[in-house]
Amino acid sequence: MKTLYTFLFLILGFGAASAQSYVFDSVGVKSIEIGTVVIKNDTWVIKVDKANFTQYYLPVNLPEKYCINNQEVVFEGAIGRIPTNVKMVGTPLKLSMIRVLYRTKPNPNNGETLSEEKVSQALPDPDSVGFISNANGKIIAIGDVFLIEQEINGETKRYVPDFLPQDFLVANTAITFSATILKSDPNVRMMGTPIKIKDIKSESTEQFDAQKIQDAVKDLFPFDSVGFLPETKGTIKLIAGTFVIEVDNGRNDITRYLPVMLPEDFKKEGLLVMVSGTIGKIPANVRMVGTPLTLATIGEIIE
């Protein structure tokens, strides 16, 4: 069953340095984002404006051609650990992709990014006019057609997905989804805006059960926390009888996490998942197949 589990257990709390002197230690993945290249304290960083704060990323491999003040870019990559007692101008980031953003219209701030780039750098689907990322919605049924419905600032929006897995053909199912927004023919009457689903998940909860802790970590749990892994894409792997989650940071850089507890529905080799959780410290003189991870959420990705 394709579900997102939210575990009801404790999530542990989590000098100057330059990108040139910093030894990169990946602790997570930064999904695709729009930002602005700026100079901060004589260092090139990427600024991302959120609703209530501004996030700065310090790219350790920013190509020189992107070092243009106030240049808008689209980027993603691996997030690095900030060394103890070291002050940095931003969160370390190893870029796996960056490109210039060319806007044709302002962002309407309605949860969708409606922007276009040059044809050579446009979205892969030529019929795309934008993208929806990690939006909340619900499944509705009109006759024998299943749609996705959203409430945005008091306005109801409906989408016609190109595909829905069998498990999601249930009316009133609350979901989180990402999708490409497709062009629609103005001369054709449709029940909603057509979209191409990139990932979709529904939510349920599961109590933490010490009896379900993986054998490889039973004698070591609980772990000291060294940080929190934000929502990150990964792949379930089975190594020497232990399930791990491999995260591809790009350029042959793989981070392997060892989930303390993994629900039965997710014990499938090769399963694509979205996870978050508390990163544990590997005890001294202990060899482990991956970095301990106490899951907060996990969900299957439909691609």
> How would residue 10 be classed by pLDDT, with cut points 50, 70 and 90?
very low
Give the chain's mean pLDDT: 78
On whether the CB atoms of residues 163 and 145 are closer than 8 A, the answer is no
Higher per-residue confidence, 268 vs 52: 268
Residue 178 bridge partners (DSSP): 199
Q: Do domains 26-100 and 112-204 have the same CATH topology?
A: yes
- Check residue 241 and give left, alpha or beta (phi > 0: left; psi -120 to 50: alpha): left
User: Which one is the CATH code of 4-8+210-300: 3.30.110, 3.30.1120, 1.10.1660, 2.40.50?
Assistant: 2.40.50
pLDDT at 234: 92
> How would residue 237 be classed by pLDDT, with cut points 50, 70 and 90?
very high
* Top-level class of domain 26-100: mainly beta
Higher per-residue confidence, 121 vs 215: 215
pTM for the whole structure: 0.44
Matching residue, tokens 């090769």: 270
Which 3 state secondary structure label does DSSP give 87?
Answer: strand
User: What's the average model confidence in pLDDT over 166-171?
Assistant: 80
CA distance 175 to 172: 9
Q: Would the pLDDT of 123 be above 60?
A: no
pLDDT tens digit string along 281-293? 998 888 899 999 9
Q: How far is CA 266 from CA 17, 66, 245, 262, 297, in A?
A: 40, 40, 10, 7, 12
Is the domain defined by 112-204 classed in CATH 2.40.50?
yes
On whether the CB atoms of residues 63 and 98 are closer than 8 A, the answer is yes
The domain ranges of the chain are 4-8+210-300, 26-100, 112-204
111 burial via Cβ count (<10 Å: 0-12, 13-18, 19+): middle
Biggest alpha carbon–alpha carbon distance for the chain:
68
Higher per-residue confidence, 110 vs 247: 247
What percent of the chain shows pLDDT beyond 90?
A: 16
Q: Would the pLDDT of 14 be above 90?
A: no
> b or e along 197-229 (b: 16 or more beta carbons within 10 Å of the residue's beta carbon)?
bebbbbeeebeeeeeebbebbeebeebebbbbb
pLDDT tens digit string along 81-103? 888 778 888 888 888 888 887 65
